[in-house]
Chain A
Amino acid sequence: MSTKKKNAWNVGLIAALLILLFLLEQTLPSSSMLFTVLKKGAIYALVAVSMNLLNGFTGLFSLGQAGFMLLGAYTYAILTIPMESRNSVYQYFDGGIIQFTLPIPVALIAGGIAAAVFAYLIGLPVLRLKSDYLAIATLGFAEIIRAVFQWDKLGPVTNGSNLLRNFPSFRSVVFPFVVAGICIALIVMLINSTYGRAFKAIRDDEIAAEAMGINLAHHKRLAFVISSFFAGISGGLLAMYQTTIQASMFKSAMTYEILLIVVIGGIGSVTGSCISSFLFIACSEWWLRFLDNENLYIGGFHVPFLRPGFRKVVFAVVIMAVVLFYRQGIMGTKEFSVEGIADFFKRKFSGKKEKKGGVSHE
C-alpha cells in the first residue's frame, strides 16, 4: 500500500472513531462506565506511549512518570483556577500568590513544559546512570517531587497537601481523545524520523550507536525531556478528568500501573500501549468490578471468595499470566495497522500458512 493510501486510511479511521464517540455520547446515558473507561483510557494511553518512547524506543528504564504527571497536573490546575474561586481553594494561604488564569490549551502546554524543564534539570546528573540505577534514581525523583509539593511552605503556590479544585474540566469524551491523539501522533512522527532511528539505535547497542556518531548524552536527554513533556500534558488531562487533584494521588503505584500497561502492550509498540491502556482501565474500573460484590449468585449458587478487594487478586493473577505466557506483550514490537489486518484476512482466506498475521512490521 502506498504511503498516501495508508495515510488516507488512517485519517478516515480516526475520523470514524471520533464520529462514533460523538454518537455514543448522544445515545448512551452519560453515567455509563464506558465513558469513564474511554476518558481515563485515552489519558493513560498518552502517558503509556510517552513512557514507551523512553523505555521501549530509547532503552532508558525510567520510573519517574508519576512525578512528571504531577508537575503537569499541578501546573495546569494552578494556572487555570478561576480568579473568583481562588480564595476558597487557597483558603489557608490567603488566595495563593498566583493571581492570573490562563486559557486551557496554554495551561496544558505549560504543564508539559514544566515537566520538560524538570526533566532536563534532573536528566543532567541522572542520565549518566544505566538500567536499574536510572530507574531507582527517577523513582526517587518522583517521590521527592510528591513530598515537595505537599510542603506547607510552598502552600501559596501548591496549596500544600490540600486539594486543588474548581479548575475547568472536560465533559465530552471527545476532548481527551483529541488531545491524546494529537500528542501520540507527534510521538509517532518523532519515532519515525531520523531522531527516532537514533533512539532505537541507542536502545539496540549504545556502543555501536556512539561509533555511528550519535551523541549519547544529547539524544538520551532529548528522549527524556520529550517523554516528560507528554507525561506532563497527560497529567494535565488527568487533573481535568478527576476535577480535583492532590499530590498524594501521584504515588509510585501510578508509575507501576503505567509500566504494566507498557509491558502488557509490548515494549516498543505504540499501538500496543494504546490498546493495553484501554484494556487495563476497562478491567480495573469496569469488567472486574463484579468480583468486589459479596452477594453474587449465579443460578442460585453463591459464588464464594468474592468480597471487596478480591478484584485485585484476580487482576494480579491475570497480569502474571500475561507476563508469563505473552512475554512480548500483546503486540511485541509490532504495530497495529490497516495493512496488517488486510494481510491477515487475505492469508486467512487464501488458506496459506505464513508468518503471524494481523500485524505488520513498520
Chain B
Amino acid sequence: MSKENVLKVENVTMQFGGVIAVDNMNLEVDKGEIVSLIGPNGAGKTTAFNVITGVYAPTNGAVYYKGNKIIQNYPQGKMKKLYRGENPMTYTGQHAVAPTPDKITRLGIARTFQNIRLFKSQTVFENILIAKHMLRTSNIFTATFRLNGKEEARMRRESEELLHLMELDDVRDELATSLPYGKQRHLEIARALATKPELLLLDEPAAGMNPQETLELTQFIGRIRDEFGLTIFMIEHHMDLVMEISDRIYVLDFGKPIAEGTPEEIRNNPRVIEAYLGGAQNE
C-alpha cells in the first residue's frame, strides 16, 4: 500500500518572547489515517494546531500539505536574537509563507475548536450554510440579485444532506447554542465537514464529555473518516478514545515531541509513561 502524505510538519518551532511553546516538532500524517497528538496540559498541542491552521506564523519551520509547502518562516526581526530553538539557519533567506486561516481552510484543512465556537445567533442549519460560503462562485452582485439561484439551491441542498448524515435534522431550526453540549460538538464537526475538507483537525473533541458520550464520539469519528474519506489529526485527553481509534500517536511534552508510534507502542513506552501518565498506568 503506497502511503500518500497529507500533512507534514517540519522542524516547527513556536517561540513567544522567551518561551518556547513548540520545540522543533516534526510529524507526518498519511491519507486516511487517524493520528492523535497527546501530551500533558501546556505541552503546546493547541499551539501546534494554531500553527498548522495559520492562526500563528511559526517562528521557524515549514508545513506541507499534500506535498506543497503551505507555511514557512524563519526567525526575523527581534526573534533573530531571541531565538533559542533548533535549526535556525535551515529556512533563513527563503520566502516566508504565512497564509491567513481562511486560506488554509480553502486548501482543504478544516478544524474545530477546544472551546466550542459556533455562530451563536444562528440556527443549526445556518451554521452549516455559512461554511458553504467559501465554496461559492458568485460575486456580491450576483448573490445580491439572486442570479446565483442554482448555487444557492446547491448550498442549501448540500447543507440539508449533511445535516441528515450528521443526524442533526431534528434540531435543524434551533439556535445553535440551545443544543446540548454533545450535539454542539457534533454540529461543530459537521460545520467543519461542510467546507469539504480532506484533512480534519479536531481540538479535544471529547472535552467535557461523559464516558457514554465519548464512546459515541469515538464511533462517530471513525464513521465520518470512512464516509467522507477523511484524514483526521486530533488532540485529545481521553485515553480510551485515543487508544481506541488512533492509527498512530504523537506525544508532546514541554513543546518537544518525545514519542511516536502505534497505540500499543505508546502504551508501553517508558518515556511516555513517565512524562504523561506520571508513572501510574491507570488509563
Q: B140 to A195, Cβ gap below 8 A?
A: yes
Residue among A186, A194, A333 with the highest chain B CB neighbour number at 10 A: A194
Question: Chain A contacts of B110 at CB under 8 A?
Answer: 211
Q: Which of A152-211 contact B (CB under 8 A)?
A: 186, 189-190, 193-195, 197-198, 200-201, 203-205, 207-211
- In the complex, whether A222 has a CB less than 8 A from a CB of chain B is yes
Residues of chain B with a CB closer than 8 A to A211's CB = 53, 101-102, 105, 110-111, 113, 117, 192
Interface string of A231-271 (1 = CB under 8 A from B): 00000000000000000000000000000000000001000
Query: Do A212 and B134 form a contact, CB below 8 Å, given A194-B152, A197-B126, A204-B121?
Result: yes
Asked if A135 CB lies within 8 Å of chain B CBs, one says no
Whether A189 pairs with B102 at a CB distance below 8 angstroms is no
Which residues of chain B are within 8 angstroms of A125 by Cβ–Cβ distance? Answer: none
Contact check: which of B138, B155, B195 meets A212 at CB < 8 Å? B195
| B215 close to A (CB within 8 Å) | no
User: Provided the pairs A193-B144, A204-B120 are in contact, do residues A213 and B134 lie with their beta carbons within 8 angstroms?
Assistant: yes
A193-B143, A194-B143, A201-B130 are contacts. A213–B152 as well, Cβ < 8 Å? no
Question: Considering the chains assembled together, what is the distance between the CA atoms of A186 and B101 in angstroms?
Answer: 31
A203 to B143, CA, bound (A): 20
User: What 8 A-B pairs are tightest by C-beta distance, nearest first?
Assistant: A213-B134, A213-B105, A208-B117, A204-B119, A193-B143, A210-B101, A201-B130, A190-B144
Q: Which residues from 129 to 146 on chain B have a C-beta closer than 8 Å to any C-beta of chain A? A: 129-136, 138, 140, 143-146
Could you jot down 22 A-B contacts, CB within 8 Å?
A189-B146, A193-B152, A194-B138, A194-B152, A200-B119, A200-B121, A200-B122, A205-B119, A207-B117, A208-B113, A210-B100, A210-B102, A211-B105, A211-B110, A212-B105, A212-B134, A212-B191, A212-B195, A213-B105, A214-B134, A215-B103, A217-B100
In the docked arrangement, what's the CA distance between A55 and B15, Å? 36
Shortest beta-carbon distance from B124 to chain A in Å: 14
Q: A205, B130: Cβ atoms under 8 Å?
A: no
Whether a CB of chain B sits under 8 angstroms from the CB of A216 is yes
Restricting to A24-80, which residues have a CB under 8 Å from any CB of B?
A: none
Tell me the minimal C-beta distance from B99 to chain A in angstroms. Answer: 11
Cα distance, A213 to B100, chains bound together (Å): 9
A268 to B192, CA, bound (A): 26
A189-B145, A211-B111 known; A194+B155 contact, CB < 8 A: yes
- Give the residues in chain B near A226, CB-CB below 8 Å: 140
Could you say which residues of chain A place their CB within 8 Å of the CB of B138?
194
- Across the interface, which residues of B come within 8 angstroms of A215, CB to CB? 100, 102-103
Instruction: Tell me the complex Cα distance, A232–B44, Å.
Output: 49
Complex interface: chain B residues within 8 A of A195 (CB):
133, 140, 143-144
- Count how many chain B residues have C-beta atoms less than 8 Å from C-beta atoms of the other chain: 38
Among A197, A268, A333, which residue has the most Cβ atoms of chain B within 10 A?
A197
**B133–A212 contact, CB under 8 A?**
yes
User: How many whole Å from B108's CB to the nearest CB in chain A?
Assistant: 10
**Is B144 a contact of A208 with CB atoms below 8 Å?**
no
Tell me if A's interface is mostly helix, strand, loop or mixed. helix
Q: Which residues of the partner chain B approach A200 to less than 8 Å between Cβ atoms?
A: 119, 121-122, 126, 130
Chain A proximity of B179: nearest CB distance (Å): 15
Q: Does B118 contact A (CB under 8 A)?
A: yes
How far apart are B155's CB and chain A's nearest CB, in angstroms? 7
**Chain A positions near chain B (C-beta within 8 angstroms):** 186, 189-190, 193-195, 197-198, 200-201, 203-205, 207-217, 222, 226, 268, 333
- Residue B106 lies at the interface, judged by CB distance under 8 Å to chain A: yes
A333, B126: Cα distance in complex, Å: 15
Query: Please, which residue of chain A has its CB at the minimum distance from the CB of B140?
Result: A195
Contact B140 A216 (CB under 8 A): no
Q: B121 near A190 (CB under 8 angstroms)?
A: no
- CB neighbours of B133 from chain A (8 A): 194-195, 197-198, 201, 212-214
CB-based nearest A residue for B142 = A193
B136 touches A208 (CB 8 A): no
Measured between beta carbons, the chain A residues less than 8 angstroms from B53 are 211
Contact B146 A193 (CB under 8 A): yes
> In the complex, which residues of chain A have a beta carbon less than 8 angstroms from the beta carbon of B126?
197, 200
Name A187's closest neighbour in chain B (CB-CB). B144
- How far, in angstroms, from A211 to B138 measured CA to CA in the complex? 20
Contacts of A204 in B (CB 8 A): 118-122
Q: Provide the residues of chain B in CB contact with A212, threshold 8 Å.
A: 102, 105, 130-131, 133-134, 191, 195
Q: Which residues of B contact A194 (CB under 8 A)?
A: 129, 132-133, 136, 138, 143, 148, 152, 155
The answer to whether B117 touches A216 (Cβ under 8 A) is: no
What is the minimal beta-carbon distance from B115 to any residue of chain A, in angstroms? 10
Q: Which listed residue (A189, A207, A333) contacts B144, Cβ 8 A?
A: A189
Residue of B nearest to A198 (CB): B133
Give the nearest-CB partner of B116 in chain A: A208
Residues from chain A with Cβ under 8 Å of B192 in the complex: 211
Given that A194-B152, A213-B131 are contacting pairs, would A186 and B102 also be in contact in the complex, using a CB cutoff of 8 Å? no
Interface of chain B residues 72 through 113 with chain A (CB within 8 A): 100-103, 105-106, 110-111, 113
Give the Cβ gap from B7 to chain A, nearest Cβ, in Å.
Answer: 16
Check A208–B155 contact: CB distance below 8 A. Answer: no
Which residues on A sit within 8 Å (CB–CB) of B105?
210-213
Please state if A216 and B100 are interface contacts (CB–CB under 8 Å): yes
Which of B102, B117, B148 has a CB less than 8 Å from the CB of A213? B102
Q: Which residues of A contact B100 (CB under 8 A)?
A: 210, 215-217
Q: How far is the CA of A198 from the CA of B131 in the complex (A)?
A: 9
